[in-house]
Amino acid sequence: MKTAKKLFFLFACVSLFYACKNENQEASSENSVADTEVKEPADNKGQAFITDDQGTPNCLQIAISSPDHKTLVAAVQAAQVENALVNVGPLTVFAPTDAAFAALPAGTVENLLKPENKDVLANILKYHVTPGNLNTSILTKLPKLGQANNQYVDIEIVDGKPMIGGANILISIRAGNGIVHVIDKVLLPPPPTGESE
């Protein structure tokens, strides 16, 4: 009987020891998570930085996952307009390829990516976004689009297909918050009225 009591006492002590150890590990883990959250950069806020592995990718996620849109993603990040591409929408985004950016005059992209040109770059990027879920069929019925930078881009129909500001739509991809039209040209907004080009 004494042996059974000793074994029970020993078992209780061991159980208590491991229970305390697990609580300390969980507390340490929670503190580690809390520290990580506190150290997160202040700029990384908003819907663009919410991780969600479920559902259809949004417009920004489609660009990030594309091997042909590295320059566009770099520009979006430099201008800090990520959240504009993940808004609930629906949005129609015209996404120039890397080749389209490369076709700009030498040094243009590098110049736009400089911190002092952030506002100019943001204006150009917003010129590639319009409210609504506009597929190519709808685009063929419109003469122009009002863009997110409060300017308009013309639509021309060539061989039954819409050209946006002179850019061809290469492919269209459905997004969780709208549609992405991959285009072969960077859309440059017209200068404000009264300014020469």
Determine the average pLDDT of the residues in 9-29.
Answer: 41
pLDDT digits (tens, 9 = 90+) for 67-87: 999 999 999 999 999 988 887
d(CA 163, CA 156): 5
pLDDT digits (tens, 9 = 90+) for 134-173: 999 999 999 999 999 999 999 999 999 999 999 999 999 9
Which helix (DSSP H) or strand (DSSP E) does residue 11 occupy? helix 2-39
Contacting residues for 128 by C-beta, under 8 A, at least 6 apart: 93, 94, 95, 96, 147, 187
* Amino acid at residue number 5: K
What is the secondary structure of 116-136 as a DSSP string?
A: GGHHHHHHHHHTTEEES---H
Superfamily of domain 47-183: FAS1 domain (2.30.180.10)
